[in-house]
Amino acid sequence: MGQNFRKNLREELDYQGMTVKELAVKSLVAKGALDSYLGKQASMPPADAAVRIAAALGVTVEYLIKGEENHQDKPLPFFNPRKRLILRIFDELDLKDQKLALDFVKLLKKNRDEGQG
C-alpha cells in the first residue's frame, strides 16, 4: 500500500509542478517526513498527515492511497494524471487545433473499433 501512496503522491506532485518543499509548507508536514513517504521504503503517513497532504494537493486521501476516487456522488472526474495532462494541453490549444485533436482521437477510436470487429 505504501508503494501506491508513493507513486500517486509523486505523480500528483509532478502533475501540479509542486516541489516536496512547497508541499511541506502547504501541508504543514515536515519535508523529511514527505521524503520518507516518497523514498524507496515508501512508508505510509499517519492519517492526520495523509489528510493534510491530500488537502494541500486538492485531492482525497483515497486518491493518494488507491489512485482513484469514490464516484458515488460525483460525475466521473478525470483524476488520472495522464487524462488531466491531456485535458490541460487540450485547453491550451486554439479552437482550430482543438477540433483537429478531437478529429484525431475519433479516428484512433474508429480504427481501434474496426480492428476489434
Q: Three-class SS string for 6-63?
A: HHHHHHHHHHHCCCHHHHHHHHCCCHHHHHHHHCCCCCCCCHHHHHHHHHHHCCCHHH
Q: What are the domain boundaries of the chain? A: 2-66, 81-116
Assigned architecture for domain 2-66: Orthogonal Bundle (1.10)
Question: pLDDT for 43-98, tens place per residue?
Answer: 889 999 999 999 998 888 888 888 765 444 444 455 567 777 788 788 888 989 98
Model confidence pTM above 0.75: no
Distance in angstroms between the alpha carbons of the first and the last residue of the chain? 39
The residue whose grid cell reads 521504503 is 41
**Grid cell for residue 21:** 518543499
